[in-house]
Amino acid sequence: MAKVKKSPRPKAQTPKGFRDYFGAEVRERSDMLKTISSVYHRYGFDVLETSAVETIEALGKFLPDVDRPNEGVFAWQEDDSDWVALRYDLTAPLARVYAQYRNNLPTPYRRYSMGPVWRNEKPGPGRYRQFYQCDADTVGAANIGADAEICMMLADVLEEVGIQRGDFVIKVNNRKVLNGVLDIMGLTDQVQRDAVLRTIDKFDKVGEPGVRDLLGKGRLDASGAYIDGVGLSSAQADPVMAFLTSKGQDIEETLANLRAAVGASTVGQSGVNELETMAGLFQSGRYGVQQIDIDPSVVRGLGYYTGPVYEAELTFEILDEKGRRRQFGSVAGGGRYDDLVKRFTGQAVPATGVSIGVDRLLAAVGQKGRISPTSVGPVIVTVMDRDRMGDYQAMVSELRTARIRAEVYLGNPKNFGNQLKYADMRNAPIAIIEGQREKDSGVVQIKNLILGSKIAQSATLEEWKENPAQREVPRTELVRSVQAMLNGQA
């Protein structure tokens, strides 16, 4: 008889480009989302939860520039005809929702959304295919005050999650100004205009000489490879360089330089006027240039921006994977996109909004030491007699009723040392011990595991006696004593 071939066991591994999140990480993200949502709510925005799946038509041209509808996203075909995909961001679903329910929504409609998005892109260090975004948008308001409000709200968010003033700046620009520069350059070919915009976006990486080279014939990059340029003449490139170097000593000087850079372009002058209005609103709201500043270097890569664009940049330094010092960089960005809803309705609907990269912001807060490296675990009620589980369950129920996080040890209670090892792995602050002697005497032992760890590391005998890590208290005083010990640890 032939031997039956066993099926291979599946590999226990996370799919490429994805990762798992454990207790402390999930708690930290949840706390941050709660903080961000409280700021959004304070500004009058309402929460919206959209489906994780959208039709390809709804996501449309805002996917990467590819020919097939299932590239760039995780997509599948239903009923031999319709393609659907996991959402690529939270903005395209908002456009669909507003178009679908606009007759029942207030105008303007102010909403915020939080949740995971999925991108079928090549993963890399710190770059995952699933990540969290946290968006806030105003749809239906052409007033430039809506853009200014988003920037001020973003500044408040950064401070409330733990990024101190001076460690960030929100940079504001306007795509109309960029379009004005392209107009006076005489560029009418859309492919060439897009190439210029992509080149401008590299200003912070290659500097003024690098951008000028890329606008012309090209340049050698750091690896020695030759990068073809846009092919503009030196005279054609001059307006771009004037624009990129227009940042002045103050906002007034910057605005004056921008007006000179766009020349007689009507759309360019309109963009500068909008920046001037926003600057005035920031001043009225008492937001200084150390928080929000007009900065021509901000371009933003997405093609649907039609007016103000903004980006939150963290300015403190960190060490990269090679030990080099560099600024942390951008954690949020957005702008005005007046044509997005038009895809559904045929009519332009003004809209502006911001998206925060939650995972990057969490990493930034961690770099500043504003997140505890470990989370405090539950109080552990140990089991000294498996036949008395009812007594131990009564203890944990009393603690939970008092809003104290607690659990009964549910492993094999035979080895008490293993119970304490378990409590250590859970980062438990306290262990409750009640053997038969304690039961007969009407007392319990409360073991301060945090203090015990510190004493074991460095304390003298006198310090041990003065601050014992384990106390005996009446059973009736269990909850009060545990709460007092927790308060002391805090």
Cα–Cα distance for residue pair 279/251, rounded to 1 Å:
8
Q: Report the relative pairing of strands 430-433 and 379-381 from DSSP bridges.
A: parallel
Angle at 295 between CA 289 and CA 296, to 5 degrees: 165
Is the pLDDT assigned to residue 278 strictly greater than 90?
yes
Is the pLDDT assigned to residue 339 strictly greater than 90?
no
| Domain ranges within the chain, ordered by starting residue | 15-142+338-375, 165-304, 379-489
- Lowest mean pLDDT segment, chosen from 9-18, 80-89, 188-197: 188-197
Per residue, the 3-state secondary structure of 107-119, as one string, reads CCEEEEEEEEEEC
Say what the pTM is: 0.83
Cα–Cα distance for residue pair 357/124, rounded to 1 Å:
16
Using only the alpha carbons of the chain, give its radius of gyration: 29
Cα–Cα distance for residue pair 4/131, rounded to 1 Å:
43
Q: How many helices (H) and strands (E) does the chain have?
A: 18, 18
* pLDDT score, position 322: 64
Cα–Cα distance for residue pair 123/86, rounded to 1 Å:
17
Do residues 489 and 482 make contact, with C-beta atoms less than 8 angstroms apart?
A: no
User: Do 165-304 and 379-489 fold alike per CATH?
Assistant: no
Which amino acid is located at 152 in the chain? M
Angle at 13 between CA 7 and CA 19, to 5 degrees: 155
Q: Which CATH fold would you assign to the domain 379-489?
A: Rossmann fold (3.40.50)
Per-range mean pLDDT, top range of 48-62, 273-287, 312-326, 365-379: 273-287
Which amino acid is located at 459 in the chain? A
The per-residue b/e assignment along 407-419, b for 16 or more CB within 10 angstroms, e otherwise, is bbbeeebeeeeeb
- Lowest mean pLDDT segment, chosen from 208-222, 337-351, 388-402: 208-222
* pLDDT score, position 159: 95
Is the pLDDT assigned to residue 64 strictly greater than 50?
no
Do residues 196 and 182 make contact, with C-beta atoms less than 8 angstroms apart?
A: yes
Identify the sign of the CA torsion 152, 158, 164, 169.
negative
pLDDT in tens, 355-369: 999 988 988 888 776
Do residues 336 and 305 make contact, with C-beta atoms less than 8 angstroms apart?
A: yes
The dotted CATH code for 165-304 is 3.30.930.10
Q: Which CATH fold would you assign to the domain 15-142+338-375?
A: BirA Bifunctional Protein; domain 2 (3.30.930)
pLDDT in tens, 152-184: 999 999 999 999 999 999 999 999 998 898 888
Do residues 95 and 343 make contact, with C-beta atoms less than 8 angstroms apart?
A: yes
Question: In sequence order, what are the beta bridge partners of 406?
Answer: 379
Backbone angles phi and psi of 366, in degrees to 5: -65, -40
Read off the pLDDT of each residue in 270-274 and give the average, rounded to a whole number. 96
Residue 372: CB atoms within 10 Å: 11
Q: Tell me the percentage of the chain whose pLDDT exceeds 70.
A: 90
> What's the token pair of residue 357?
């990269």
